Amino acid sequence: MPSNITRIPAPRVPLIDERTGLVSREWFRFFNNLFVLTGSGTNQFTLNDFEIQPDALAQTESALGDIQSQIQALQLLPPPQQIVPADYGSFYDTTTQVAAAINTPYPVTFNTTVVAKGVRRGTPTSRIYANRPGVYNFAFSIQFDKTSGGTALAYVWARLNGVNVSNTASQIRIQGNNGEIFCAANLFFEMSNGDYFELMWAADDTSVQLLAEAATAVHPGIPSVILTVNQVNI
């Protein structure tokens, strides 16, 4: 059987019925239900039993205080994310690099570190190591030169851990003696801790070289190659 649920009459229902001067039917039903639900006057509890004693009240306040402290200890917002600076490096070489044989790959070397954090030159100095996993941007520029007449082709590409990277090569056509050409590009690679990057080059004529020049009154020194590395994803 359904239980007798006590519902408080709506605020619009008057306590006293104006027509009869008695308690309205809705309020009478409410009070009667309360009477029945509390035992119809036969239970053994008194109003004193429902009063909160001082000790119980103190215990309740203490429990509420503990709960409040725990709530305050909770961080409603996530802790601020620690910003880890990205790794980077800048390197160049002040020597002219030559090819001893035609159509033979040679690693581009670097003899100077400008700045570096987490990216370093290895041994040999053509290897640029990453200390942390992430995506790195390798941007390079090379000053090609030819020391004799005619036309020659030079090639530049990337290696990772000693393996050529597909579709990273560029072809440079150099015309005539002292036919300097500037070549630049940037490449993105996903690196793991301990991986290394190398820039490779080759030419079909041994008169092709990576030219370095000393500073003059007009300009600063010209490295044969410049490489900058930036970690773009951590």
Tell me how far apart the alpha carbons of residues 139 and 118 are, in angstroms, rounded to a whole number.
Answer: 17
Does residue 73 carry a pLDDT above 70? Answer: no
* pLDDT class of 75 with cuts at 50, 70, 90: low
pLDDT at 33: 79
Q: How far is CA 118 from CA 9, 24, 123, 125, 226, in A?
A: 74, 84, 16, 16, 18
Helix, coil or strand: residue 158: strand
Q: Determine the pLDDT at residue 34.
A: 72
Domain-by-domain residue ranges, the chain?
7-55, 88-233
- pLDDT of 37 > 80? The answer is no
pLDDT score recorded for residue 43? 65
Q: How far apart are CA 73 and CA 112, in angstroms?
A: 52
Taking residues 206-233, report their average pLDDT: 96
Mean pLDDT to the nearest integer, 127-154 = 96
Confidence grade of residue 211 (pLDDT, cut at 50, 70, 90): very high
Token pair listed for 11: 């605020």
Q: Which CATH class is domain 88-233?
A: mainly beta
Mean pLDDT for 219-228 is 97
Average of per-residue pLDDT across 196-218: 97
* Residue pair 231/86 in contact by the 8 Å Cβ criterion: yes
Note whether 134 and 191 are within 8 A (CB). yes
Distance CA 166, CA 163 (A): 9
Q: Minimal CA–CA distance to 177: which of 211, 154, 148?
A: 148
- Tokens describing residue 163: 């393996």
pTM, 2 dp = 0.66
